[in-house]
């Protein structure tokens, strides 16, 4: 029997009174009602139940985040839930629209492929050079259109920087979920050089996409094809691609996160993550490390899910460019030396205000994207339970 020690800090309420927290959560209560319902409140009993469950879950987590002062724990719950809900909702949508999760040639020709943010780095050079978006999706129509996703990504990038990867990305929760399964990592030491792998993958993906005029990452390297949309195996090439997707998913999203306790796909492979890290340059929110309080216990370095802290960066009082603002280092720090910070404001000053200022846009985007998926997935599951069919 393993002894699991629950960090008592996770359960300890902050000094803020519940009434103040409730008042602080009030704008989010109103905002999420619109975001989840997309402006029209449900009337069907089943949808009302699904809506209520989603609404309570999201706002409950936000309340607890403010009340306990612990960001990572409750964010992770939401993030993992969103990833699972995404797979259910997305898969069910595809099954309803196409009758299959397979992407066939006719779907590609019809521009029927849902656009996802992971493609964005690959489409830039061809878009600039030829004014062509090298993706078989639609610009404005249908589910997950190119323009819709680009607008969402631009907004979230301005507001959160690489915070996208811990608050908005609907794939990252899978990686995070598996990384949380193992309390004591089997693989502890990973060479620093591997942190540059996402940049190398990004470089190759961008160059090869410009060469082939096709989204190279989607075609060859996306592990999430295994659980979302995949091509019908009609050739030797697609067979090889499918094997690659499967191997990458098992290794990068399941096995290695379990063995290391880190988000390996997000931290050491995803080219979009490297690309998104650049947005941290102009994003106003960051993490600050108070050197006066820091005792160099390295809990933050060992715990960072995306390898965004090392001993050098801790000494400099700031994370690396790849920081996803997940809040784990803040929760892990025994001396409260780490906090959210607004650039330009000294470390350790107005940390509570900085946290609230960050949590609002972060949670709004999380609720806008994730809330819809949770709501959609719950409707499908409830339908399945009550009628025996998801559709």
Partner 1 sequence: MVQGFFLGLSTGAVCLAYCAPTLVPYILGEGKGVWQTSIIVAQFLGGRLLGYLFFAVIAWGLNCSLVNQLGSNEGAIGVIYIILAAALALYGLANKSALCAGRSSTWSGLWLNGQRPAMIPMSLGFLTGLNLCPPFLLALANASEFNQLSQSILFFFNFFLGTTVYFIPAPLLGTFNWLPAFKVVGKLAAAITAIYYLYTGIVMIGGGLLL
Distance CA 309, CA 339 (A): 14
- Residue among 195 and 341 whose Cβ is closer to partner 1: 195
Q: Buried (b) or exposed (e) across 136-167, using 16+ Cβ within 10 A?
A: bbbeeeeebbbebbbebbeebbebbbbbbbbb
What's the closest the beta carbon of residue 120 comes to partner 1, in angstroms?
19
Q: How far is the CB of 275 from partner 1 (least distance, A)?
A: 13
Q: Which residues of the chain form contacts with partner 1 (CB under 8 A)?
A: 129, 191, 193-194, 196-197, 199-201, 203-204, 207-208, 210-211, 220, 233-237, 239-240
Question: How many degrees, rounded to 5, is the angle at CA 60 between CA 58 and CA 66?
Answer: 105
Residue 27 CB, nearest distance to partner 1 (Å)?
41
Do 70 and 11 touch, CB atoms closer than 8 A? no
Cβ at position 262, least distance to partner 1 in Å: 18
Secondary structure (DSSP) of 257-312: HHHHSS-HHHHHT-HHHHHHHGGGGT-SEEEEE-TTT-----HHHHH-TTS---HH
- Least CB distance from residue 199 to partner 1, whole Å? 5
**Minimum CB separation from partner 1 for residue 305, in Å?**
21
Per-residue HEC secondary structure of 129-193 comes to: HHCCCCCCCCCCCCCCCHHHHHHHHHHHHHHHHHHHHHHCCCCHHHHHHHHCCCCCCCCCCCCHH
In sequence order, the 6+-apart residues with CB closer than 8 A to the CB of 57 are 78, 81, 374
CB of 194 to partner 1, least distance (A): 7
Nearer to partner 1, 220 or 360 (CB): 220
Q: Which lies closer to partner 1 via its Cβ, residue 110 or residue 247?
A: 247
Using CA atoms of 225, 230, 235, 240 in order, give the dihedral in degrees to the nearest 10.
10
Q: Name which of 128 and 385 has its Cβ closer to partner 1.
A: 128
Query: Residue 143 or residue 199: which is nearer to partner 1 going by CB?
Result: 199
- In whole angstroms, how close is the CB of 326 to partner 1 at the nearest point? 23
* Least distance in angstroms from the C-beta of 313 to partner 1: 13
CA geometry: angle 147, 41, 100, nearest 5 deg: 50
CB of 204 to partner 1, least distance (A): 5
Whichever of 204 and 294 has its CB closer to partner 1, that residue is: 204
What SS3 state is found at 327? Answer: coil
The values of phi and psi at residue 324, to 5°, are -100, 5
Residues 6+ apart with CB under 8 A from 29: 59
Nearer to partner 1, 232 or 384 (CB): 232
Question: At which residue do the structure tokens 């299959």 appear?
Answer: 100
Q: Which is nearer to partner 1, 271 or 370 (CB)?
A: 271
- Whether residue 47 contacts residue 1, with contact meaning beta carbons closer than 8 Å, is answered with no
The residue among 8 and 236 lying less far from partner 1, judged by its C-beta, is 236
Residue 5 or 191 having the CB closest to partner 1: 191
Tokens of 285: 């929110």
Q: How far apart are CA 238 and CA 73, in angstroms?
A: 40
């Amino acid at each position: 029997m393993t002894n699991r020690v629950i960090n008592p800090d996770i359960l300890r309420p902050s000094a803020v009174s519940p009434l103040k927290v409730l008042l602080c959560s009030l704008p989010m209560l109103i905002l999420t009602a619109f975001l989840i319902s997309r402006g029209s409140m449900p009337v069907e009993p089943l949808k009302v139940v699904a809506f209520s469950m989603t609404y309570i879950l999201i706002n409950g987590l936000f309340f607890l985040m403010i009340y306990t002062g612990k960001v990572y724990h409750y964010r992770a719950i939401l993030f993992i839930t969103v990833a699972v809900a995404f797979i259910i909702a997305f898969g069910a949508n595809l099954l309803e629209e196409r009758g299959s999760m397979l992407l066939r040639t006719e779907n590609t020709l019809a521009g029927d492929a849902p656009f996802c943010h992971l493609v964005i780095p690959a489409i830039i050079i061809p878009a600039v050079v030829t004014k062509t978006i090298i993706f078989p999706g639609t610009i404005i129509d249908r589910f997950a259109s190119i323009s819709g996703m680009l607008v969402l990504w631009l907004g979230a990038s301005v507001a959160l920087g690489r915070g996208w990867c811990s608050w908005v990305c609907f794939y990252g929760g899978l990686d995070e979920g598996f990384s949380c399964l193992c309390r004591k990592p089997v693989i502890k030491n990973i060479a620093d050089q591997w942190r540059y792998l996402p940049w190398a993958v990004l470089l190759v993906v961008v160059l090869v996409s410009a060469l082939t005029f096709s989204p190279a990452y989607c075609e060859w390297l996306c592990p999430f094809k295994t659980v979302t949309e995949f091509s019908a195996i009609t050739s030797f090439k697609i067979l090889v691609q499918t094997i690659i997707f499967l191997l990458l998913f098992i290794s990068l999203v399941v096995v290695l996160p379990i063995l290391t306790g880190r988000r390996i796909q997000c931290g050491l492979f995803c080219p979009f993550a490297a690309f998104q890290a650049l947005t941290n340059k102009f994003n106003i929110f960051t993490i600050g490390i108070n050197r006066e309080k820091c005792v160099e216990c390295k809990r933050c370095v060992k715990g960072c899910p995306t390898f965004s802290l090392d001993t050098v960066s801790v000494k400099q009082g700031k994370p690396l460019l790849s920081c996803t603002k997940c809040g784990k280092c803040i929760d892990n720090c025994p001396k409260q030396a780490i906090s959210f910070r607004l650039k330009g404001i000294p470390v350790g000053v107005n940390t509570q205000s900085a946290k609230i200022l960050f949590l609002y846009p972060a949670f709004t985007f999380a609720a806008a994207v994730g809330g819809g998926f949770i709501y959609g997935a719950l409707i499908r599951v409830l339908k399945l339970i009550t009628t025996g069919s998801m559709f």
